[in-house]
Amino acid sequence: MKKQPPAEGSPGVVYQVRLPVSKRTVDLVGGLIRRRRKQLGTRWRKAAPGTQAIVVLAVLRHDQRLADMAGGNSVSAATVRRWVLEVIDLLAARAPRMDRALKKIARRGGAVVLLDGTLVRTRRRTGADNRKNYSGKHKAHGLLFLALTDEKGNLIWISSARPGRASEITAARHDHITRHLREAGLGALADLGFVGLDDDPDDAPVIITGRKATRSHRLTDAEKEANRLVSRERAAVEHGFANLKTWRILTKVRMNAHHATTLLRALLVLANCEVQR
């Protein structure tokens, strides 16, 4: 009597999916990897620089699981993780510093930049680490980032990560944004969350915000119109954040604040490579 062979799992199936990035972005990442390998004197790698670039961009753009990308490229998940961290570090090193970014805007003849903050969602952590990342404003756990854009909404700088419970104005004071703006001779448009940030609002203001209504003072028609004008001019900053969050790895960040800062600065470089207004 012939015995049936034991049942086995189905073989791995590989499928194709479109990666919505430009050739310029792929060339940028591939070139960085190629120069890094030459600098290290690497004689052999499992994949070519172009293949590594596509795998890393797929992880960043679609938030693909490392094990899935590893199985489709005949490498281990640990190898894909090393590839991703290597590229993130290479890209983050190209992110501009605040003073240099502001001086570049000033040399181009710019007069103002746009300032705003955003919360990048994170996984809920247990214990005391969970509390500081909870944002009462957004009712969610995350990390707070500040960003500056030009008048068209192109990101020019992003801050380091801070706990979600931190306020935007406190983070801006910690980064000395007003001092850098004065040194560059620029102003900044911001929302009502930054009211009071400017330390010299009467003589030489650099932070332009709307007016807040209080119990004792209702806004006049002129002040309401001024608020609408400020909101209209600073709307472009939301486009910058929208371009940044098209990289789905930011859907829910699974890393600490230090690595999240490196990730956001790397994505800033990729977002600017993809979109320039």
pLDDT digits (tens, 9 = 90+) for 43-74: 888 889 999 999 999 999 999 889 989 988 88
Same domain, 102 and 234: yes
The amino acid at 75? V
Q: Is residue 186 in a domain?
A: yes
pLDDT digits (tens, 9 = 90+) for 31-43: 999 999 999 998 8
Question: Is the pLDDT score of 204 beyond 90?
Answer: no
CB atoms within 10 A of CB 70: 19
Question: Is the pLDDT score of 1 beyond 80?
Answer: no
- pLDDT score of 80: 95
The amino acid at 56? V
- pLDDT score of 252: 85
Same domain, 119 and 60: no
What is the distance between the alpha carbons of residues 199 and 201, in angstroms, rounded to a whole number? 6
Domain count, the chain: 2
pLDDT digits (tens, 9 = 90+) for 83-92: 999 999 999 9
Same domain, 80 and 65: yes
Same domain, 151 and 181: yes
- pLDDT score of 8: 55
Q: Is residue 12 in a domain?
A: no
What is the distance between the alpha carbons of residues 225 and 229, in angstroms, rounded to a whole number? 6
Question: Is the pLDDT score of 200 beyond 80?
Answer: no
Same domain, 139 and 223: yes
pLDDT digits (tens, 9 = 90+) for 113-162: 999 999 999 887 767 767 888 898 888 899 999 999 999 999 999 999 99
Domain that holds residue 44: 23-92
Q: What is the DSSP string of 145-171?
A: EEEEE-TT--EEEE---EETTS-HHHH
Q: Which of 92, 107, 138 is the last residue of a domain?
A: 92
- pLDDT score of 129: 67
pLDDT digits (tens, 9 = 90+) for 213-267: 888 889 999 999 999 999 999 999 999 999 999 999 999 888 888 999 999 999 9
The amino acid at 257? A
Question: Is the pLDDT score of 201 beyond 90?
Answer: no
Q: What is the DSSP string of 22-39?
A: -HHHHHHHHHHHHHHHHH
Same domain, 35 and 148: no
